[in-house]
Amino acid sequence: MLSYRHSYHAGNFADVLKHTVLASILDYLLQKDKAFCYLDTHSGCGAFQLDSAQSLKTGEFKNGIGALWGLKNLPVPVSRYLEQVKAFNGEGALLSYPGSPMICNQMRRDDDRMFLFELHPNEFTNMRGNFSGDRRIKMANSDGLQGLIATMPPKERRGLVLIDPSYEIKTEYDEVVDKLVDAHRRFATGTYALWYPVVKRTLINKMERALKSSGIKNIQLFELGIEADKEERGMTSSGMIVINPPWTLQKEMQHSLPFLAEALGIDGEGFYRIETLVAE
């Protein structure tokens, strides 16, 4: 369960989707003066070098952030995301990539708190180095799904929870739904963003059915694919399921996902999904 290292995949098309949605939600939360809490169940180290041996071995960033770098006239949500990557690179060349907690850390205000969980010991050590010295950031080398339940509800009563496990074992597809339902029971007004990879569509269909029958209201789905589903092993698309999304999010993704599907799709096979799984 501890073999996954995101450094091989940082900045790929799945990160583009995840972080475009993330930046849009954070931007919405920042429009109110009241502080919010951000919780990341699978934080990773928070920062990646695109010229590292791991990143260069797969080259996945080339059909992700690399394909968008330098483009003009982007949809506003994609441009917002790209601004965070550029800020992390100091407006220079594309050499580094910010993980989800780093994007939040760049965007948040002084009174907005962060809870970061990472089970992998080496990733946690690196994360602690990247975020050390800030008392507003609580870090734990522990199971983030258990930490999520223990932390809810946050004192701010406003917040975003990002859940993006590696799904190394199939039971994680069921576990994330169970923990989401439990967390929502404790903090029903929070926004929850669940990332998923499409390796086997049947697993995603099952997860969608479970969420539809959970009793939770106001659930939207946003998916980006670079090629059609295949029987062979490998991720062809990924998605974000958002509970209590900002009212602006669906419209923003209606502008962004068609653009990303065309820009990142392989041989014209790019596609997207925008669906309301459960209405308000």
Catalytic residues: 164
Let me know if 4 is exposed, middle or buried by CB neighbors in 10 A (0-12, 13-18, 19+): middle
Q: Residue 3: which H helix or E strand, with range? A: none
Tokens encoding 194: 């669940």
CB atoms within 10 A of CB 181: 15
The crossing angle, in degrees rounded to 10, of helices 201-212 and 171-186 is 20
Q: Using CA atoms, how far apart are residues 5 and 122, in angstroms rounded to an integer? A: 10
Look at residue 212 and give its three-state secondary structure.
helix
Across 41-69, b (16+ Cβ under 10 Å) vs e yields: bbbbbbbbebeeeebeeeebbebbbbbbb
Helices H / strands E in the chain, number of each: 10, 10
Q: Residue 36: which H helix or E strand, with range? A: none
